């Protein structure tokens, strides 16, 4: 049963229901052991944060920044701020100093909650040039404060500020006055061009989103939710808060690089992720099978075919598999697929929401075939995450992005752009009336910037309007579609398609260096460094052969004709990717203009 309370009182209401049951699991900074927090303790810590914020004089709807990776204290701060009607402004832990400075000035931030040393150091430098910033509150006790910093304080000291009871009456008054029109968050989207823009999200939007997702999902209090994506990402924030309304246990994973270890240690039943996570699972399993002996290869491929027929040909279409197929699948599930899932740490999978970019049909089919329900969906920060998603109890089609949530009114422009109206849609961007006017149609529909269509009750998306390339021959190229074909290769880590106003499609490819170096050693290819490895003709010939196979389903004009292997990853520091790891095409075109130019020389 869902508890769809105002976020200011959600944890308190859940504590009354679940008491000493575990609400949160976490590791201390630098710790090795998982610890847990009950709903009662969770509620008490949130109340203490609210009172401590009142002691600092935080006002109604004042903006409070959280500059951190996922942590226990992060969650306390979010709910503590909502408890006094403040508005939280999350920054990604990797956010650049320049972006932090812009957001602090835009939202007039006085208090910044910082995670670890990196965030503290950046925030401290920003504090020198942003006159509104009064205090940094630091989560990690191991952070070293800079010399002559009298204002910063550790979180465990901060929460004691309101323990004297002086602000209890004001706290209760704020709770009583909380309403659905209050801003809960401003989420700044990094975008692929220009300054970040702050998406305003109200408590009413969260309430509507929770109600819609409750109808379309089947979360239970017994579910264990691993937080993989940053809480600054609307997908993870909305998903984590939804799980709390359902009484689930949140497993707070601080370091995203440790996610596979965290999965094996905590055994989640659900986890939201981006397609790249499952692409790596796919390439990892396939690589292991390719290295196995012929008997194991045949067994796995046979099992995979049984899984595909059972889960895709029948279940995905809402049909009951024949009894003989059910028995075959049961045997393969117990003997083969269960071992794969155990290696991942998901022995009891429920469902795994996946969104954020194009999902490869090959990967989606594979994940379903091995008995993991990959719940593909689509959403934006401006729609408070979910626009559509697959449902456990309804047919779904590989390649679609699911069924729209009930409260949304969806229509399409003449160009095919998806337009949205409903209670989960933002009212606009903070301090940006210029953007707000351009973001909505005259009749109030939000312009998603995505081209799509509906078929049999399911939504499909083809491409971002601004990402569509037009070659010099007049052909339109959808780069994400092409890139998704290449990213399923085990030797490919990143790829960026180049095509706009060009004679043909080319690409910058970042290899999986570890696997590529092993290939070179195994095949007697000597190299002095990565630059030499990526320039080697034999390596490039191997890639060309694999590219030809990967692109067989594409039209000739869509296929990559030339490519360059890059000796280093696309960089967040250089602005080549966003905090959510999406590539910034205009920056890549500028940074690698000479390399790109050479690919088009006659």
pLDDT (average), residues 514-531 = 94
Nearest to residue 304, comparing CAs of 354, 359, 365? 365
Q: Is the pLDDT of residue 68 over 70?
A: yes
Task: Say what the pLDDT of residue 474 is.
Answer: 79
By residue range, what is the domain housing residue 382? Answer: 275-345+351-424+446-464
Does residue 433 fall inside a structural domain? no
- Say whether both 279 and 225 belong to one domain: no
Q: Is the pLDDT of residue 201 over 60?
A: yes
- In tens, the pLDDT along 13-66 reads 999 999 999 999 999 998 999 999 999 999 999 999 999 999 999 999 999 999
Task: Say what the pLDDT of residue 122 is.
Answer: 96
- In 309-401, which ranges are continuous DSSP H helix? 323-332, 338-344, 361-369
- Say whether both 173 and 140 belong to one domain: yes
Read off the CATH number of the domain in which 385 is found.
2.30.38.10
Task: Say what the pLDDT of residue 194 is.
Answer: 66
Task: Give how far Cα 60 sits from Cα of 5, 365, 602, Å.
Answer: 19, 49, 64
Does residue 195 fall inside a structural domain? no
Q: Is the pLDDT of residue 466 over 80?
A: no
Does residue 235 fall inside a structural domain? yes
Task: Say what the pLDDT of residue 15 is.
Answer: 98
Q: Which residues pair with 225 in a beta bridge?
A: 250, 270
Residue that terminates a domain, selected from 231, 266, 301: 266
Q: How many domains does the chain have?
A: 3
pLDDT (average), residues 288-293 = 90
- Say whether both 333 and 225 belong to one domain: no
Distance CA 515, CA 308 (A): 28
- Write out 98-151 in H/E/C secondary structure: HHHHHHHHHHCCCEEEECCHHHHHHHHHHHHHCCCCCEEEECCCCCCCCCCCCC
- In tens, the pLDDT along 378-400 reads 999 999 999 999 999 899 999 99
- In tens, the pLDDT along 573-599 reads 888 988 777 888 889 999 999 999 999
User: Cα(first)–Cα(last) distance of the chain, in Å?
Assistant: 66
Distance CA 523, CA 331 (A): 39
Q: Is the pLDDT of residue 193 over 60?
A: no
Does residue 202 fall inside a structural domain? no
Q: Which residues pair with 37 in a beta bridge?
A: 24
pLDDT (average), residues 340-361 = 93
Residue that terminates a domain, selected from 416, 438, 464: 464
- Say whether both 259 and 280 belong to one domain: no
Task: Say what the pLDDT of residue 255 is.
Answer: 87
- In tens, the pLDDT along 114-145 reads 999 999 999 999 999 999 999 999 999 999 99
Q: Is 198 helix (H, G, I), strand (E, B) or coil?
A: strand
Does residue 193 fall inside a structural domain? no
**For a pLDDT cut of 70, what percent of the chain falls above it?**
99
Does residue 593 fall inside a structural domain? yes
Task: Say what the pLDDT of residue 212 is.
Answer: 96
- In tens, the pLDDT along 299-328 reads 999 999 999 999 999 999 999 999 999 999
Read off the CATH number of the domain in which 86 is found.
3.40.50.12780
Does residue 197 fall inside a structural domain? no
Task: Say what the pLDDT of residue 108 is.
Answer: 97
- In tens, the pLDDT along 410-420 reads 999 998 999 99
- Say whether both 126 and 233 belong to one domain: yes
- Residue 44 has phi, psi (to 5 degrees) of -65, -40
Q: If you average pLDDT over every residue of the chain, what do you get?
A: 94
The beta-strand segments (E) located in 390-436 are 403-404, 409-412, 417-421
Nearest to residue 316, comparing CAs of 402, 404, 378? 402
Task: Say what the pLDDT of residue 101 is.
Answer: 95
Q: Count Cβ neighbours within 10 Å for each residue of 274-289 and write b for 16 or more, e otherwise.
A: bbbbbbbbbbebbeee
Q: Is the pLDDT of residue 531 over 90?
A: yes
- Say whether both 283 and 245 belong to one domain: no
- Say whether both 69 and 169 belong to one domain: yes
- Say whether both 249 and 286 belong to one domain: no
What DSSP line would sit under 442-483, residue for residue? TTS-EEEEEEEEEETTEEEEEEEGGG-EE-TTS-EE-HHHHH
- Say whether both 489 and 457 belong to one domain: no
Read off the CATH number of the domain in which 581 is found.
3.30.300.30
Task: Give how far Cα 184 sits from Cα of 8, 81, 176, 188, 432, Å.
Answer: 9, 9, 16, 13, 18
Q: Is the pLDDT of residue 475 over 80?
A: no
Q: Is the pLDDT of residue 191 over 70?
A: no
Task: Say what the pLDDT of residue 238 is.
Answer: 97
- Say whether both 256 and 285 belong to one domain: no
- Say whether both 413 and 291 belong to one domain: yes
Task: Say what the pLDDT of residue 118 is.
Answer: 96
- Say whether both 51 and 117 belong to one domain: yes
Q: Is the pLDDT of residue 549 over 70?
A: yes
Does residue 186 fall inside a structural domain? no
- In tens, the pLDDT along 152-180 reads 999 999 999 999 999 999 999 999 999 99
Task: Say what the pLDDT of residue 190 is.
Answer: 67
Task: Say what the pLDDT of residue 257 is.
Answer: 85
């Amino acid at each position: 049963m869902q508890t769809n309370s105002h976020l200011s009182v959600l944890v308190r209401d859940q504590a009354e229901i679940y008491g000493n049951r575990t609400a949160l699991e976490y590791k201390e900074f630098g710790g090795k052991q998982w610890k847990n927090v009950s709903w009662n303790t969770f509620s008490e810590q949130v109340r203490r944060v609210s009172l401590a914020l009142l002691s600092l004089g935080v006002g109604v709807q004042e903006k409070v920044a959280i500059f951190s990776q996922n942590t226990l204290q992060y969650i306390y701060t979010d709910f503590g701020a909502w408890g006094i009607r403040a508005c939280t402004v999350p920054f990604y832990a990797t956010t650049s100093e320049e972006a932090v400075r812009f957001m602090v000035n835009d939202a007039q931030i006085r208090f910044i909650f910082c995670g670890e040393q990196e965030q503290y150091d950046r925030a401290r430098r920003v504090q020198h040039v942003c006159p509104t910033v009064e205090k940094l509150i630091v989560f990690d006790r191991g952070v070293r404060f800079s010399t002559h910093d009298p204002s910063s304080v550790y979180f465990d000291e901060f929460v004691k500020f309101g323990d004297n009871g002086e602000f209890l009456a004001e706290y209760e008054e704020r709770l009583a006055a909380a309403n659905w029109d209050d801003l809960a968050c401003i989420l700044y989207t990094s975008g692929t061009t220009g300054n970040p823009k702050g998406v305003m999200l109200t408590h009413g939007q969260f309430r509507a989103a929770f109600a819609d997702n409750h109808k379309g999902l089947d979360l239970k209090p017994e579910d264990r939710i691993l937080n993989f994506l940053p809480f600054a990402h609307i997908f993870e924030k909305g998903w984590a808060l939804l799980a709390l309304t359902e009484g689930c246990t949140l497993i707070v994973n601080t370091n995203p690089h440790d996610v596979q270890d965290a999965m094996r240690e905590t055994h989640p039943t659900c986890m939201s992720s981006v397609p790249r996570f499952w692409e790596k699972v796919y390439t990892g399993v396939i690589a292991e099978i390719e290295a196995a002996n012929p008997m194991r290869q045949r067994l796995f491929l046979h099992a995979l075919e049984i899984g595909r027929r059972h889960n895709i040909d029948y279940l995905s279409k809402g049909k009951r598999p024949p009894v003989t197929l059910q028995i075959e699948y049961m045997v393969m599930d117990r003997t083969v697929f269960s071992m794969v899932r155990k290696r991942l740490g998901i022995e009891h999978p429920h469902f795994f929401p996946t969104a954020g970019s194009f999902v490869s049909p090959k990967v989606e089919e594979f994940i379903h075939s091995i008995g993991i329900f990959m719940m593909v969906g689509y959403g934006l920060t401006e729609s408070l995450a979910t626009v559509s998603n697959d449902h456990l109890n309804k047919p779904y089609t590989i390649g679609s992005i699911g069924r729209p949530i009930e409260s949304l009114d969806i229509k399409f422009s003449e160009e095919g752009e998806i337009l949205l109206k409903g209670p989960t849609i933002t009212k606009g961007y903070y301090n940006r009336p210029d953007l707000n006017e351009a973001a909505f149609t005259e009749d109030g529909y939000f312009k998603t910037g995505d081209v799509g269509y509906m078929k049999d009750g399911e939504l499909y998306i083809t491409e971002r309007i601004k990402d569509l390339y037009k070659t010099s021959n007049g052909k339109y190229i959808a780069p994400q579609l092409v890139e998704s074909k290449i990213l399923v290769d085990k030797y490919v880590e990143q790829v960026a398609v180049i095509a706009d106003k060009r004679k043909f499609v080319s690409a910058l490819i970042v290899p999986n260096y570890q696997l590529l170096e092993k290939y070179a050693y195994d095949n007697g290819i000597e190299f002095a460094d990565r630059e030499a490895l990526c320039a080697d003709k034999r390596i490039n010939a191997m890639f060309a052969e694999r590219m030809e196979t990967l692109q067989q389903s594409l039209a000739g004009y869509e296929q990559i004709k030339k490519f360059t292997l890059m000796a280093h990853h696309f960089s967040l520091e250089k602005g080549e990717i966003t905090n959510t790891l999406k590539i910034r095409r205009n920056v890549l075109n500028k940074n690698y203009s000479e390399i790109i130019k050479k690919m088009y020389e006659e």
